[in-house]
A and B are shown apart, each in its own frame.
Chain A
Amino acid sequence: MNDVEIALHQVRYEQKTYWRNPMAAVFTFMFPVVFLLVVGTSAGSSTISGSTLRYDQYLVVAMLVFGLIAACYTNLGVTLCIRRDQGVLKRMRGTPIATASYFGGLIGSILINVVLLTALVVAIGMVGYHLHFPYHPLAAAVTLLVGVVTFCALGLAVTVLISNGEAAPAVINGIYFPVVFISGVFYPISNSSVLSKIADYFPVRHMVKGLVGAFENGPGSGLQVRDLLIMALWAIGGLVFAVRRFRWEPRHR
């Protein structure tokens, strides 16, 4: 088998492992769905100022971002920290698998999850909230792809900051939740507010804006190049940091 076939082989087992571990799927799939059913229905259908989206439709798009980050950053970070701590990564390193095939397997599996998540959330939006199928489908696809790359890179990078697998979920979510809050994932935040100015330094708000742009129509909608470029900077930074400092072995005890 060549490296690509081995990566595909790994995808199968990554998928099995993923769906048998309920915690990961709860954050990625359950949370956005439950949030939309509970909060979305009471969010009202007034239009957000400066947007063609209604409040509840905005939340649908924002929840897709939330799920994507859980599927990429949180899932990859926690999984790798736990595997490193248990010595699973070290053992992988003793087999002939290429590093690219191993990470290819992990990220291939994450891509499947993101496609499923997107289909699920968009379907809920279209059925429940009259969300229009993205007016700019290509922009939506590109934004989602840049999101996967960025948040997977940050998931890899965060493993460098963590030395103990048990602490991984706490640290990883501890970094992520404040950023998600100020980025307008749970409620729209006006572009002129202080919070949004802070949030603009981080990638999450740009992901929300990028995806909202693909679901809107009218002037200013479509591919949000500036937002995507800022995300790409985060992706490159995270990747460089991770490649330099990634550890395969648990700390010496």
Chain B
Amino acid sequence: MDDIVISVKGLTKSYGGFEAVRGVDFEVRRGHVLALLGPNGAGKTTTVEILEGYRQRDGGEVSVLGRDPSHRDKELRSRVGIVLQECAVDQYLTVTEAITQRAGLYPDPRPVDEVVSMVGLGAKGRCRIKTLSGGQQRRLDLGLALVGNPELIFLDEPTTGFDPSARRESWELVRGLCAEGRTVVLTTHYMDEAQALADQVTVIAAGKVVASGTPDTLGGRDQGETTVRFVLPAGVELCELPLPPDLRPEVRCGVVEVRLPDATALLHDLTGWALARGQVLDGLKVRRPSLEDVYLDLTGDDG
């Protein structure tokens, strides 16, 4: 199918005797953002660098834009943009020069000025790269990956070390790339980044896919239980509360906690009861499991 830009089946890779990737599967559709989410050492970079053609896989099937990336053919390289986990920019050129140099290597590059301002370095175009801050060099890195007009872009932890506003700007940039029909694969260990950008999240831990889905449904998140919490009002016994009989509330340090699939009716009863008695429900909180809860659940404590 032409719509599948990347397909990975049963991918494995070992270093010496150590299995870094042990049977990873996923697919990415054109125009989508896939977030590979996982703790450090999970195998994200290994997976992505196999797709980029830097590393040879031990087993499994891999197709990138309909080709086998291990052949490293020129045409594939001219259709793919890569931001490596480690930033690598020659120090002695200016921002504009570095991007112009890179543009010269591609058959159909984007205009250099456009790229410089896309990555927010418009004011720095004539500055030597060694005078840029770490975050600015990282954005230049992104610009270098985009100047070749790639259909598919790999971003390995693109915003690690960014301040919050720079991260948000990068997110906007990624959304813009998707709006142009480009496909993006990004690795990250930030839950909010996956939540904000991804059409599809694949969680990897210890070389295996532990969950896969849209950010809103990942790990049964949409079906997970809602938690309602509030402080037990003074002088009120637990049995006086208008709770459905089949619920088993827990009380810890005077805080009542109830878990149930749908809290709508409960909240109605509870607040109606409190209003009728002139009570205040201190600390009332209603929580759905966040992507972070699901992620920590899936990857264990060392996430």
Taking Cβ atoms with an 8 Å cutoff, the residues of A that contact B are: 1, 6, 9-10, 13, 16-17, 20-21, 83, 86-88, 90-91, 93-98, 249, 252
Within 8 Å CB of B105, what residues of A? 6, 9, 95-97
Contact of A95 with B106 in the complex, beta carbons under 8 Å: yes
Partner of B101, one of A13, A21, A98: A13
Within 8 Å CB of B201, what residues of A? none
A sample of 8 more A-B contacts (CB under 8 A), given A86-B89, A86-B90, is A1-B107, A6-B104, A9-B101, A86-B88, A87-B86, A88-B90, A94-B84, A95-B148
Would you give the shortest CB distance from A175 to chain B, in whole angstroms?
25
Contact of B89 with A88 in the complex, beta carbons under 8 Å: yes
**In this assembly, does B52 line the interface, its C-beta being within 8 Å of a C-beta of chain A?**
yes
Which one of B60-68, B74-82, B166-174, B268-276 is at the interface? B74-82
Contact of B90 with A17 in the complex, beta carbons under 8 Å: yes
Bound CA–CA A87/B86 (angstroms): 7
Partner of A94, one of B52, B75, B92: B52
Partner of B102, one of A86, A90, A95, A249: A95
A-side binding surface: helix, strand, loop or mixed? helix
Contact of A1 with B104 in the complex, beta carbons under 8 Å: yes
Q: Mark B15-47, 1 if CB is under 8 A from A, else 0.
A: 100000000000000000000000000000000
Contact of A16 with B97 in the complex, beta carbons under 8 Å: yes
Would you give the shortest CB distance from B137 to chain A, in whole angstroms?
11
Bound CA–CA A156/B52 (angstroms): 26
Tell me whether A16 and B54 are in contact in the complex, defined as CB-CB below 8 angstroms, given that A96-B77, A96-B106 are known contacts.
no
Within 8 Å CB of A83, what residues of B? 90
- Number of inter-chain CB pairs below 8 Å: 65
Bound CA–CA A94/B107 (angstroms): 15
Taking Cβ atoms with an 8 Å cutoff, the residues of B that contact A are: 15, 52-54, 74-75, 77-78, 80, 82, 84, 86-90, 92-93, 97, 101-102, 104-107, 128, 144, 148
Taking CB as reference atom, which chain B residue is nearest A17? B92
Contact of A98 with B74 in the complex, beta carbons under 8 Å: yes
Contact of A91 with B104 in the complex, beta carbons under 8 Å: no
Contact sample, A vs B, 17 pairs, CB 8 Å cutoff: A9-B104, A16-B93, A17-B93, A86-B89, A87-B87, A88-B88, A88-B89, A88-B90, A90-B54, A91-B84, A94-B82, A94-B84, A95-B102, A96-B74, A96-B75, A96-B77, A96-B105
Partner of B54, one of A20, A21, A86, A94: A94
Contact of A20 with B92 in the complex, beta carbons under 8 Å: yes
Contact of A90 with B93 in the complex, beta carbons under 8 Å: no
Bound CA–CA A86/B52 (angstroms): 19
Partner of A91, one of B74, B82, B97: B82
Would you give the shortest CB distance from A6 to chain B, in whole angstroms?
6
Contact of B88 with A96 in the complex, beta carbons under 8 Å: no
Taking CB as reference atom, which chain A residue is nearest B104? A9
Bound CA–CA A96/B104 (angstroms): 10
Contact of B101 with A96 in the complex, beta carbons under 8 Å: no
Taking CB as reference atom, which chain A residue is nearest B148? A95
Contact of B84 with A87 in the complex, beta carbons under 8 Å: yes
Contact of B77 with A94 in the complex, beta carbons under 8 Å: yes
Would you give the shortest CB distance from A165 to chain B, in whole angstroms?
12
- Nearest 9 pairs of A and B residues by beta carbon: A87-B88, A96-B78, A20-B92, A94-B82, A96-B77, A9-B104, A13-B101, A17-B92, A96-B74
Partner of A93, one of B54, B78, B86, B148: B54
Within 8 Å CB of A96, what residues of B? 74-75, 77-78, 105-107, 148
Within 8 Å CB of A87, what residues of B? 84, 86-88
Bound CA–CA A6/B90 (angstroms): 18
Within 8 Å CB of B102, what residues of A? 95
Tell me whether A249 and B148 are in contact in the complex, defined as CB-CB below 8 angstroms, given that A6-B105, A87-B84, A87-B86 are known contacts.
no
Tell me whether A13 and B84 are in contact in the complex, defined as CB-CB below 8 angstroms, given that A94-B54, A95-B77, A95-B102 are known contacts.
no
Contact of A91 with B92 in the complex, beta carbons under 8 Å: no
Partner of B84, one of A1, A6, A90: A90
